[in-house]
Amino acid sequence: MAWELLFWLYAFASVIGLVALTAYQLICLSDLEYDYINPYDSSARINAVVIPEFVVQGALCTLLFLTWHWFPFLLMAPVTYYHIRLFMERKHHIDVTEIFRVLNVEKKYRMVKLALYFIIFFIVIYRDFTFKISIGSINHFTIESTDNRDMSKQLSEEEACVL
């Protein structure tokens, strides 16, 4: 039981990291679109966080598969496959010379990823808290039931003394 709790806490932290990395990439692309940043700096900033995002997302997807959490795994599997395909074809970095040509496509791609990561985020929160509540209710039930037994013994002793 403790391993599952640690797994959901790791999933929570990694999904927050994925949301933050994707939001950072979107902010860099928006800054480039409104000409607040030059193309070289924007592509350098985005390219610096692409590989860590791929690693965290791939590790989370693998852990979801190994722990038999099928629904979140099936949501993340297509993105993992797409990331692997981009990496194998060496198209995972944004080229400085073509950044304006692919700007809208890259923004839409990252918006879809952000929406997916938010869905996974809500699933992880739900599973994490339901798991914590189930552990807490088991512990509360056992404590409460032993307290009730002791109280019922005391009440029956007091009633016997009164009679």
Handedness of CA 121, 126, 131, 136 (dihedral sign): positive
Q: Where are the domains of the chain?
A: 2-162
Number of alpha carbons in the 13 Å side-chain half-sphere of residue 21: 20
* pLDDT tens track for 109-122: 999 999 999 999 99
Handedness of CA 133, 135, 136, 137 (dihedral sign): positive
C-alpha distances in Å from residue 132, one per residue of 23, 43, 141, 154: 29, 41, 14, 33
- In angstroms, the CA 51 to CA 46 distance is 10
- pLDDT per residue rounded down to tens, the chain (163 residues): 678 888 888 999 999 999 999 999 999 999 999 989 999 999 999 999 999 999 999 999 999 999 999 999 999 999 999 999 999 999 999 999 999 999 999 999 999 999 999 999 999 998 878 877 777 665 554 544 555 556 555 545 555 455 5
- 129 — phi, psi (to 5°)? -70, -35
* pLDDT tens track for 132-149: 777 766 555 454 455 555
Q: Is 23:111 a contact under the CB 8 Å cutoff?
A: no
